[in-house]
Amino acid sequence: MNYKHTAAEVLKYVGGKENISHFEHCSTRLRFSLIDTSKANVEKLTSVPGVIAVKMTGQCQVVIGNEVVEVYDEVIDMIGSPAANTESANKPKEKQKIGSVILDFIVGVFQPLVPAIAGGGVLKSILLLFSLMGLLDTNGQTYKILNQIGDAPLYFLPILVAVTTANKLKVNTLVALASVGALILPNMTAMLTEGAHLFGFTVKNIPYAYQVFPAILTVLLFAQVEKLFTRISPKAIRIFFVPMMSLLITVPISLLILGPLGFTLGQGFAAVILAVFAKVGWIAVAILATVLPFMVATGMHKAMVPYAVTAMGAGKEVLYLPASLAHNIAESGACFAIALRTKDKRLRSTAISAGISALFGITEPALYGVTLQNKKVLTSVMIGSFVGGTFIGIVGLQAFVLVGPGLASLSMFISEDLPKNIVNAIIGLVISFAVSFVAAFILGKDKKVKEEQQDFISNLTTEKEFKSPVIGQMIPLSEVKDAVFSSKVMGEGIAVIPSKGELYAPVDGKIEMIFDTNHALGMTTANGAQLLFHVGIDTVRLGGKYFKPQVKVGDEVKAGDLLLTFNIEKIVEEGYDPVTMAVVTNKDKYSVKVADLKNVDRKDTLMFVTALGN
């Protein structure tokens, strides 16, 4: 990969340096907070060499894979410090949905914490492994000093959170750090333990080390106080007056109100997750492992990071990381199976590389390069994840380090008090890999062509015309306000803003699936293409209201047959976008050409679909 070229192209298609308000990276993705998301050209970004996929959630996430650091460095060389673009920061930002704003804030605060926490945690787990092997004495000073080094990121978690939150809010990092640092001063801790009073009020004894939410609330308050005094204070004294007043106001309020509130929130947040886990039991781990491919693909897994960080402050995590072990290894097993049975050299190379990455805890290359390209591979991963997650949930696997679970990080499951924990992790790893490998190998195995299939094979060699499934205004799929479709992760296809609430079959085929809420259905066409129809954005939340299927699973349909009716007016009244998508999901096997039309009806041809290799 030419890192400089890839960086330049990515920078160009996110809208240029002036459109970036914040920039960072995680283990596989470049993460851009954009001033105007409409300036990001997702279709062009996806076509950049080295880019695996693009996700437009709270941030513009460009999936690079294992070489993300090199591309990140090149982008930094081009734009300077990720926080230095003050000119862009002063421009009016595009109004975003509250959900996107919250997700962007969560990712911006918690994602940068992971490397430090993971590094310290893995060090502690390796020390424990060495002690169990008799290579280090737990009572020796070498072990104790190294163990303290490993514990430092978690102990000073409030300080780290203060830095990331201040960076995200673009306030004075060092003063924000001092505000939070006051909470964990040794003398302050001693005073709180003995019983302290401030302005006549009792200060609650809170152990702020290892805590997350008190620091976030403190910096949120500090940001508002700093802005206020920056605006009203004379410039001549601003350099000391603003920090002084910010500390004087922020720290006491945090000690009396925000600190206890944040501590209670953190404890309650973790308690709710653990209560659900205790109530549902092992099935929670199995279900989470099974749906992780979709959560990772849409970025929803980031919502679990605050819980995981909070749980690690208490010493262990029992849901997200164990489930991730099953999913990560299942991705690897499926990739190696595909590499073994495929005749496509390019796919084999991608599958081997992605399989190795997933084996070591990095799943994005596997997800976007292999899994989401093929329904059978995705099914295999889900099967392996569920079976492995079931075992892991039943044995109650516990994780003690916040790092992507994989072969190299298995020491994260070592516990002196639970000697069988690491053994269970290894067994869960083997089960997830083996089940996924076997499932992918069987489900993906080439089938022999029978004599009665010759008509079908002849269909494959012919370019098929797909008529418009609805009447309305056609728009580019890349403009749909749903990242799953606009990024074309689900497949290539068309989008139409309907003017009439009727969905018709664009070609002959068989109905394979109707979603429980009736807003989506799938069919296999005569030439083997798998079509997914999806009416509206987020209309799954309607629970089936306003949708009436006119067919059932297993029905053979002809082009022009009515498949579904829906009430456009009611859908719009409920606040949902009625745009209707039709995509070819097995795009690895078919070439899709989309016509450039505006107003369309059922007679218009919108797609031309041909089997690859013909």
Contacts (Cβ under 8 Å, ≥6 apart) of 16: 39
Contacts (Cβ under 8 Å, ≥6 apart) of 575: none
DSSP state of 105: H
**Is residue 322 pLDDT above 70, yes or no?**
yes
**Is residue 427 pLDDT above 90, yes or no?**
yes
Distance of CA 570 to the CA centre of its chain: 32
- Which residue, among 62, 593, 11, 52, has the nearest Cα to 365 in the 3D structure? 52
**What are the backbone angles phi and psi of residue 198, rounded to the nearest 5°?**
-135, 120
Determine which of 125-139, 256-270, 305-319 has the lowest per-residue pLDDT on average.
305-319
3-class SS string, 509-541: EEEEEECCCCCEEEEEECCCCEEEEEECCCHHH
In the predicted model, what is the mean pLDDT of the chain?
85
Q: In what order do the strands lie in the sheet with 562-566?
A: 502-504, 562-566, 547-549
By three-state DSSP, how is residue 47 classified?
coil
pTM of the model: 0.53
The per-residue pLDDT for 217 is: 95
Bridge partners (DSSP) of residue 467 are 605
* pLDDT, mean of residues 319-334: 93
The per-residue pLDDT for 446 is: 44
Determine which of 3-7, 328-332, 461-465, 485-489 has the lowest per-residue pLDDT on average.
461-465
3-class SS string, 235-247: CCCHHHHHHHHHH
Q: Dihedral of CA 608/489/545/600: which sign?
A: negative
Reported as a single tens digit per residue, the pLDDT across 432-489 is 999 999 999 988 654 443 344 444 444 444 567 889 999 999 999 988 988 878 888 7
Reported as a single tens digit per residue, the pLDDT across 553-590 is 989 999 899 999 999 999 999 889 999 999 998 877 88
Going from the C-alpha of 76 to that of each of 6, 72, 586, the distances in angstroms are: 13, 6, 37
What span, in angstroms and rounded, lies between the C-alpha atoms of 348 and 331?
15
The per-residue pLDDT for 111 is: 76
Count of alpha carbons within 13 angstroms of residue 510, beta-carbon side: 6
The per-residue pLDDT for 87 is: 46
* pLDDT, mean of residues 124-137: 83
Q: How long, in residues, is the chain?
A: 614
Domains of the chain, each with CATH number or no CATH? 3-96 (3.30.1360.60), 156-273 (no CATH), 281-443 (no CATH), 455-611 (2.70.70.10)
Count of alpha carbons within 13 angstroms of residue 107, beta-carbon side: 25
The per-residue pLDDT for 258 is: 94
pLDDT band at 252 (very low <50, low <70, confident <90, very high): very high
Reported as a single tens digit per residue, the pLDDT across 478-521 is 889 888 788 887 788 999 999 999 999 999 999 998 988 899 99
DSSP state of 399: B
Answer whether 229's CB lies under 8 Å from 242's CB: yes
What span, in angstroms and rounded, lies between the C-alpha atoms of 186 and 182?
9
Q: Dihedral of CA 340/346/351/352: which sign?
A: positive
End-to-end CA distance of the chain: 30
The per-residue pLDDT for 117 is: 81
- Which residue, among 156, 127, 158, has the nearest Cα to 142 in the 3D structure? 127
What span, in angstroms and rounded, lies between the C-alpha atoms of 480 and 503?
18
What span, in angstroms and rounded, lies between the C-alpha atoms of 534 and 469?
11
Active-site positions read 26
DSSP state of 420: T
Determine which of 103-117, 141-155, 588-602 has the lowest per-residue pLDDT on average.
103-117
Reported as a single tens digit per residue, the pLDDT across 170-224 is 899 999 999 999 999 999 999 999 999 999 999 999 989 888 889 999 999 999 9
Reported as a single tens digit per residue, the pLDDT across 530-553 is 899 999 998 888 888 999 999 999
**What are the backbone angles phi and psi of residue 589, rounded to the nearest 5°?**
-110, -5
Burial class (CB in 10 A: 0-12, 13-18, 19+), 71: buried
| In the block, residue with structure tokens 């007679």 | 603
What span, in angstroms and rounded, lies between the C-alpha atoms of 276 and 508?
46
Reported as a single tens digit per residue, the pLDDT across 52-73 is 888 876 678 888 877 888 899 9
What span, in angstroms and rounded, lies between the C-alpha atoms of 107 and 247?
26
Structure tokens, 381? 């991963």
**What are the backbone angles phi and psi of residue 552, rounded to the nearest 5°?**
-130, 165
Answer whether 208's CB lies under 8 Å from 214's CB: yes
Burial class (CB in 10 A: 0-12, 13-18, 19+), 309: buried
Neighbour-count burial for 192-206, b at 16+ CB within 10 Å, e otherwise:
beeeeeeeeeebeeb
